[in-house]
Amino acid sequence: MFWKFDLNNTSHIDQLLDREGVTLRELMEEEDVLQECKAQNRKLLLFLSKDHCMQELVTLITEEPPADLEEKTRFKFPNIACELLTSDVALINDKLGGDESLLEKLYHFLEQEPPLNPLLASFFSKTIGNLIARKTDQVISFLRKKHNFISLVLNHIDASAMMDLLLRLISCVEPALLRMEVLNWLNEERLIQRLTELMHTGRDEERQSNASQTLCDIIRLSRDQANQLSEVTEPDPLLAVLESQENVAELLKNMFEGERTEASVVNGTQVLLTLLESRRSGLEGLMDLYSQGCERSYTVNSSILRAIEPHIKDFQQLLLNPPTRSAILTTVGVLEQPLGSARLHVARLVASLLQTCDLSICQEICRLNTMDLLLDLFFKYTWNNFLHLQVELCVASILNHSAHADLQNPGLIKHLVTLKIGVMATENSALAEGGRRRGNMGHLTRIANTVVQNLEKGLAHSQINDLIKELPEDCRGRWESFVGETLRETNRRNTVDLVSTHNLHSSSEDDDMESPFPNDLSIQQAFSDYQIQQMTANFVDQFGFNDEEFSEHDENINAAFDRIAEINFNIDANAAAFEACCKERIQQFDDCEEEEDIWDEKEINYATQIKARSRYSTWMIYPGWTASFGETEVSSSSAWGGSPQQDGEGPQDTSWASFTEFQPFSR
């Protein structure tokens, strides 16, 4: 029956192209014009690549459409034009990249006064970016002749599309030798220094933010490509400037010169954090901190640290006197003096600096008692978990310091011990009275466990023991009481909560049924071991999980069944049910019935015939009602219009289940 379908359907675009005098706008009105372009419709591509069509397409993405058009259709044609120009079709790429008049028309877009239309800027950036990747030689040669190209791009850096254009120049140029030429060209144009200058406190916040993000992306891209492109021995010139002491010092000067706004502090600190960050981010980076202490998987350029060190006191001052912020309403009430992004970023910076394990940096932080201020904020802002995490990372870095034992901050340990006693004691009594748990208690408990753990077997255990001994007798007694009672009870309560959750999901009415999970005692012990043990590089192996235990072994196909003998099946509890199932008589299907011809024409009958077998009856009997599935014919009138027998006349219809006394399932 294929002849019913017209498989030779001709595209409407082809019909339009066959018509004399067809315009570009008429073609762009067609819904499938982009699809036909990407499908390499030869007639369409030849039409689009004509000079007047290419000129019109470029005009659409670089000039503002008439303002009197309806807003929802105003940018319809510019959007379609951009998609056609970036459809990655060789004929269009060759025409656009090889015609200098078209490139000049594109470049003229940058020569407009700011601000640019953000949508047109995105069209322009996408088109140029596609040419950089596909027609690299022609486009790079054209741009290098324009001595004001970088200046124009930075002049419009408030548009995020310009930031994307710069990153495409850095990351999308191949081969490696040509890419190095581009990097040297950008370095000669002093790209990094110009972006750093935009970080000055007097600049527009949007320009500051985009300049900061561009610098951060350049750092990450340059480091990633340096790792991947092993054949290039020449160092990245942009990264070299970014990591130089002179450029970092200039960045810090721009941050702190003049009025210290929150935007300048946050944007500048983000660049510093990117310079200090490891190549592994997120959860993996956090696990690295615990497993390796301060032994980082990379080395921070010392020039970065030497430039930051003189300004640690300036960051300390931000903790004391942050940029003014108005009160905010939170879920726990009005916060008159919010912590603010500036102080949070300072806390992140201190944590990153401590993780470098640089002797001079750590000594300066200890000298300024920066950790005391962070701990004060930790207890003041009890609901800011972002701050709590950074303080915890700082404490872990100091306690796990393996390179220099004298870098421990005595004030930190004393401050930590004395404040924790009071806060945890207060928290314990509040919980007893039914009060609300403080938001920092989880991090506080983990910090306490870290201190106790290092007190017993950590790298600085001797120093921590000495500090504990120097405490007044009553304070030391409270500390020991806290560790032996409050902290132990907190850990036990956390363990019980986990076990209760486990029991909730694994509970069963069959008390005699053996649980496939470990008993409560083993769970408590496992969780306690997990919670208070030191996070080392072989933590997973110590805790008892082995990925290979659950993976298939190619060399031994029977490996998955090696432990089958360890499974304990206890069927005593369900012996009665098992016997009932076994004794149940299962009737055979009526195979002797004559097969029906499915193609045989027969009269259509809408009456429903229900055939049921008695083997289902044992599973369909519930307290209070019985389902009967005897063979019967139920007419459509009785099923939808009510029973023909009413008021007790005639035999009662028993073909339907009675739910009048239905009870919930007991199992």
Q: Which backbone phi and psi does 165 adopt, to 5 degrees?
A: -65, -45
Strands 608-610 and 632-634: antiparallel
The residue ranking higher by pLDDT, 436 or 446, is 446
What mean pLDDT comes out for the span 264-278?
A: 93
Q: Tell me, what amino acid is at 418?
A: T
The residues facing 334 across adjacent strands are: 329
DSSP state of 66: P
In one letter, which amino acid is 359?
L
Inform me whether the pLDDT recorded for 213 exceeds 90. Answer: yes
CA dist 597 and 371 (Å) reads: 87
Residue 420 has pLDDT above 80, yes or no: no
The answer to whether residues 173 and 232 touch, using CB atoms and an 8 Å cutoff, is no
Q: Any bridge partners for residue 166, and if so which? A: none
pLDDT confidence bin for 217, thresholds 50/70/90: very high
Q: What is the pLDDT of residue 617?
A: 38
Distance CA 236, CA 220 (A): 12
User: Would you place residue 388 in the very low, low, confident or very high pLDDT band (cuts 50, 70, 90)?
Assistant: very high
Q: What is residue 485's predicted lDDT score, i.e. its pLDDT?
A: 83
Q: Rounded to the nearest 5 degrees, what angle is found at the Cα of 170, between the Cα atoms of 166 and 176?
A: 160
**What angle, 0 to 180 degrees and rounded to 10, lies between the N-to-C axes of helices 461-470 and 410-432?**
70
Q: In which band, very low, low, confident or very high, does the pLDDT at 500 lie, cut at 50, 70 and 90?
A: low
Contacts of residue 278, defined as CB under 8 A and 6 or more positions apart, other chains included, come to 285, 288, 296, 297, 298
In this predicted structure, the answer to whether residue 6 has a pLDDT above a threshold of 50 is no
Say if residue 67's pLDDT is above 90. Answer: no
What own/partner pairs with CB < 8 Å and gap ≥ 24 does 477-480 have? 478/421, 478/425, 479/417, 479/421
pTM for this one?
0.70
How does residue 191 score in pLDDT terms, banded at 50, 70 and 90? very high
Least confident of 419-433, 484-498, 537-551: 537-551
Q: Which of 379, 373, 449 is nearest to 409 (CA)?
A: 373
* Residue that has been written with the tokens 């819904």 in this structure: 31
Of 424, 378, 375, 423, give the one whose Cα is nearest residue 398: 375
Q: Is-contact 428 374, C-beta < 8 A?
A: no
Least reliable range by pLDDT among 182-196, 491-505, 516-530? 516-530
Cβ-count burial 62-97 (b if 16+ within 10 Å, e if not): beebeeeeeeeeebebbebbbbbbbbebeebbebbb
Work out the mean pLDDT of the chain and round it to a whole number: 75
Name the nearest CA neighbour of 475 among 396, 410, 416, 399.
416
Task: Give one word for 66, left, alpha or beta, with left for phi > 0 and alpha for psi -120 to 50.
Answer: beta
The mean per-residue pLDDT over the stretch 218-226 comes to 89
Question: How far is the CA of 253 from the CAs of 256, 336, 634, in angstroms?
Answer: 5, 31, 91
User: pLDDT of 130-173, one tens digit each?
Assistant: 999 999 999 999 999 998 999 999 999 999 999 999 999 998 88
Rounded Cα gap, residues 295 and 358, in angstroms: 11
Say whether 610 sits in a helix, a strand or coil.
strand
Inter-residue contact 217 to 164 (CB < 8 Å): no
Do 442 and 392 contact (CB within 8 A), yes or no? no
Using one digit for the tens of pLDDT, what is the confidence trace for 545-569? 444 444 444 444 444 444 544 555 5
Q: What is the mean pLDDT of residues 262-278?
A: 92
The answer, yes or no, to whether residue 336 has pLDDT greater than 80, is yes
Mean pLDDT of 424-431: 53
The closest of 253, 294, 257, 250 to 276, measured between CA atoms, is: 294
The mean-pLDDT minimum among 27-41, 167-181, 377-391, 417-431 falls in: 417-431
Give the model's confidence band at 642: pLDDT under 50 very low, under 70 low, under 90 confident, else very high: very low
Question: Where are the chain's structural domains?
Answer: 16-189
CA distances from 286 to 292, 389, 392, 394 (A): 10, 10, 11, 12
Angle between helices 359-367 and 340-355 (to 10 degrees): 130
pLDDT tens for residues 72-129? 788 999 999 999 999 989 999 999 999 999 999 999 999 999 899 999 999 999 999 9
State the pLDDT at residue 167: 93
| 404 in Cβ contact with 356 (< 8 Å) | no
CA distance 360 to 203: 33
Cα–Cα distance, 49 to 475 (Å, whole number): 84
Q: Which helix (H) or strand (E) holds 457?
A: helix 441-457
32-41, 119-128, 322-331, 434-443: which is most confident: 119-128
Instruction: Transcribe 77-126 into DSSP letters.
Output: HHHHHHHHHTS--HHHHHHHHH-HHHHHHHHGGGGSPSSPPHHHHHHHHH
Could you tell me the pLDDT band of residue 585, with boundaries at 50, 70 and 90?
Answer: low
Tokens representing 326?
């108005």
Taking alpha carbons only, the member of 398, 402, 425 closest to residue 412 is: 398
